[in-house]
């Protein structure tokens, strides 16, 4: 690593500024980063294509799961390039085993779905902590805005994919087969699905350099903020200058002091800032003083005591020794003494106020829950329309829509022939035929035929004809003809025909069921 050849200014940055930096780096080095991504992705994509050539969705899912492996090489390349080591893609490809994380499987399995992967990858790859040390390290560093970075990049990937898909769909020349957009999501294995999958892979590959670079920049930002990495690099640069060995030594000490100071002050930002300012002052003084002092030979290096004296001298100067007072308003809470006299007798007890507040709070919560419930009850049926309109209509069936048939069907007498004869004896031929009709419907239903209450005579007959025995169908046909004539035609029932129907029914009931028709109810 050559700190003098840093491609980006390392200084404390906020999370969003770090992401900006990452995106700027990705734009600068997009091509090598993109190619590095494909160095890993392309072979795997081609190999798995052989296995999953009929399932574009599974193929895409597999590649999506392997994204951490694809992003290792771009990260490796970027970590080198940032410090001046510009590898060619070929060289980077040869270093792939070195670039991959030491334990890849966790990255591809349970850590794959972590939303802060962009941040944890640099930690895993560049520092290689394991187990509890890794967790502790990540806990110390935090994650910055890595979660939001993932959300943003997923959205950008989706937008890119949809844009490409729509562009292709709308700009296909006339005469070419149209791209079925719905099939890209629903028809697995279709041409449209493959096109959608390839475009998605392309969108993911385009976003990958930005994701990796932004995650790396977040990592740099966090380290800089927490570990004063900028100072360390500044001292490294100072040390790296020719003939600055003494200053380099002092700088190293200063850096150590700075790092210690940062560690000690973490997480208090004010102390941290003061420590940083002190160290920067010292470093600046040393760096400024160095040219004035002229070149130093290694033998002229300052001892610890001499350096301390020099630092104290610098700090004693007016530029660094002055103090400044600044005034600002800080809210420290209500310090006024409670008014104990006056309307103290009118004041409500604290306990009562707390109770009232609690009751009001629960009432509000209850009202909100009730409102949400009512809203859901109102909206859900509308969302399900019209496929479920029948259910709602059945529930809210207007008066008169429900005929007596359904209820009557459900309440058939046990001995139907006896009841039919009784009704015939009472002169109610219509009632007797209706009973026979309903009992036959019930029997057909028991046999598994779908005969809703809305089925008319012709529909019942057609349904029965599809599964019942011919003699049963013929009997039902005669029954329905007689029933319609009596009920709807107001014709007198032929006693002979009625007796014949009953007799034949008894014979039919004794026969074995055919094609699912059971015996009597």
Does 413 engage in binding with another protein (CB under 8 A)? Answer: no
CB of 403 to another protein, least distance (A): 4
Per CB under 8 A, 441 contacts another protein: yes
Q: Which among 131-139, 191-199, 338-346, 452-460 is the span making contact with another protein, rule CB under 8 A?
A: 452-460
Among 141, 314, 434, 501, binds another protein (CB under 8 A): 434
The CA-atom distances, in angstroms, between 376 and each of 368, 371, 381, 384, 397 are 12, 9, 9, 12, 21
Residue 56 CB partners (closer than 8 Å, separation 6+): 188, 189, 193, 194, 196, 197
Would you count residue 485 as binding another protein (CB under 8 A)?
A: yes
Find the shortest distance in angstroms from Cβ 427 to another protein: 16
Smallest separation (angstroms) from another protein to the CB of 438: 6
Q: Does 409 bind another protein (CB under 8 A)?
A: yes
- The Cα 341–Cα 353 span in angstroms is 19
The CA distance from 152 to 215, in Å, is 12
User: Out of 267, 291, 338, 386, which residue is the one contacting another protein (CB under 8 A)?
Assistant: 386
| Stretch binding another protein (CB under 8 A), from 3-11, 270-278, 344-352, 388-396 | 388-396
The two tokens of residue 231 are 């100072």
Check residue 300 for interaction with another protein (CB under 8 A): no
Please tell me the distance from the alpha carbon of residue 322 to that of residue 338, in angstroms, as a whole number: 43
Q: Report the residue from 359, 393, 426, 499 that binds another protein according to the rule CB under 8 A.
A: 393
Lookup: tokens for 423: 């009704």
The interface region with another protein, picked from 165-173, 234-242, 296-304, 397-405 by CB under 8 A, is 397-405
Q: Is 349 in the site for another protein (CB under 8 A)?
A: no
What residues from 79 to 118 belong to the interface with another protein (CB under 8 A)?
Answer: none
| Burial profile 12-39: b = 16 or more Cβ within 10 angstroms, e = fewer | bbebeebbebbbebbeebeebbbbbbbb
Q: Does 378 bind another protein (CB under 8 A)?
A: no
192 closest CA partner among 203, 181, 202, 201:
181
- Cβ atoms of 22 and 214 within 8 Å: the answer is yes
Residues in contact with another protein, counted by CB under 8 A, come to a total of 40
| Contact region with another protein (CB under 8 A), list: 20-28, 90-98, 112-120, 405-413 | 405-413
Report in angstroms how near the CB of residue 491 gets to another protein at its nearest. Answer: 8
Q: How far apart are CA 436 and CA 2, in angstroms?
A: 100
Judged by CB under 8 A, the stretch of 191-199, 241-249, 453-461, 501-509 that binds another protein is 453-461
DSSP secondary structure string for all residues of 377-410 = HHHHHHHHTTTTHHHHHHHTPPTTTS-SHHHHHH
Which pairs with CB-CB distance under 8 Å and at least 24 residues apart come from 167-174? Answer: 168/195, 168/199
Per CB under 8 A, residues contacting another protein are 381-382, 385-386, 389-390, 392-394, 396-398, 400-406, 408-409, 431, 434, 437-438, 441, 452-459, 484-485, 487-490
């Amino acid at each position: 690593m050559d700190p003098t050849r840093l491609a980006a200014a390392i200084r404390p940055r906020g999370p969003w500024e770090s992401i900006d930096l990452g995106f700027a780096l990705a734009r600068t080095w997009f091509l090598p980063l993109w190619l590095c991504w494909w160095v890993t992705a392309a072979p795997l994509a081609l190999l798995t294509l052989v296995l999953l050539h009929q399932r574009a969705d599974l193929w895409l899912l597999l590649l999506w799961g392997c994204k951490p492996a694809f992003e290792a090489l771009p990260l490796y390349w970027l970590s080198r390039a940032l410090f001046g080591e510009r590898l060619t893609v070929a060289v980077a490809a040869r270093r792939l085993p070195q670039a991959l994380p030491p334990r890849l499987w966790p990255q591809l399995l349970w850590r794959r779905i972590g939303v802060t992967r962009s941040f944890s990858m640099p930690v895993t790859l560049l520092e290689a902590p394991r187990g509890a040390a890794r967790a502790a390290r990540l806990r110390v560093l935090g994650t910055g805005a890595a979660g939001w970075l993932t959300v943003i990049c997923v959205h950008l990937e989706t937008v890119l994919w949809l844009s490409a898909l729509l562009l292709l769909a709308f700009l296909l020349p006339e005469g070419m087969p149209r791209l079925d957009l719905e099939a890209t999501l629903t028809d697995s294995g279709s041409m449209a699905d493959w096109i959608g999958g390839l475009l998605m892979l392309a969108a993911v590959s385009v976003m990958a350099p930005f994701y990796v670079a932004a995650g790396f920049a977040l990592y740099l930002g966090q380290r800089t903020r927490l570990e004063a990495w900028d100072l360390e690099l500044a001292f490294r640069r100072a040390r790296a200058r020719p003939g600055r060995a003494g200053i380099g030594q002092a700088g190293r000490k200063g850096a150590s002091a700075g790092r210690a100071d940062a560690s000690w002050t973490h997480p208090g930002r004010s102390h941290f800032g003061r420590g940083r300012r002190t160290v920067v002052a010292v470093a600046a003084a040393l760096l400024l003083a160095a040219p004035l002092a002229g070149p130093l030979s290694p033998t002229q290096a300052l001892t610890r005591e001499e350096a301390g004296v020099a630092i104290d001298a610098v700090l004693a100067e007016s530029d660094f020794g002055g103090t400044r007072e600044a005034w600002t308003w800080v809210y420290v809470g209500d310090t006024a003494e409670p008014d104990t006299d006056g309307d103290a007798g009118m004041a409500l007890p604290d306990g009562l106020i707390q109770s009232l507040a609690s009751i009001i709070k629960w009432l509000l919560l209850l009202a909100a829950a009730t409102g949400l419930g009512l809203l859901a009850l109102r909206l859900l049926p509308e969302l399900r329309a019209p496929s479920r309109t029948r259910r709602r209509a059945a529930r809210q069936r207007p008066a008169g829509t429900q005929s007596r048939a359904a209820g009557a069907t459900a309440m058939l007498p046990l001995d139907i022939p006896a009841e039919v004869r009784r009704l015939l004896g009472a002169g109610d031929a219509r009632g007797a035929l209706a009973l026979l009709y309903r009992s036959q419907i019930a029997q057909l239903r028991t046999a598994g035929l779908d005969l809703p209450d809305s089925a008319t005579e012709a529909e019942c007959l057609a349904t029965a004809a599809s599964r019942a025995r011919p003699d049963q169908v013929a009997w039902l046909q005669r029954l329905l003809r007689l029933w319609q004539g009596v009920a709807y035609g107001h014709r007198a029932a032929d006693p002979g025909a009625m007796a014949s129907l009953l007799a034949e029914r008894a014979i039919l009931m004794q026969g074995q069921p055919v094609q699912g028709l059971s015996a009597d109810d």
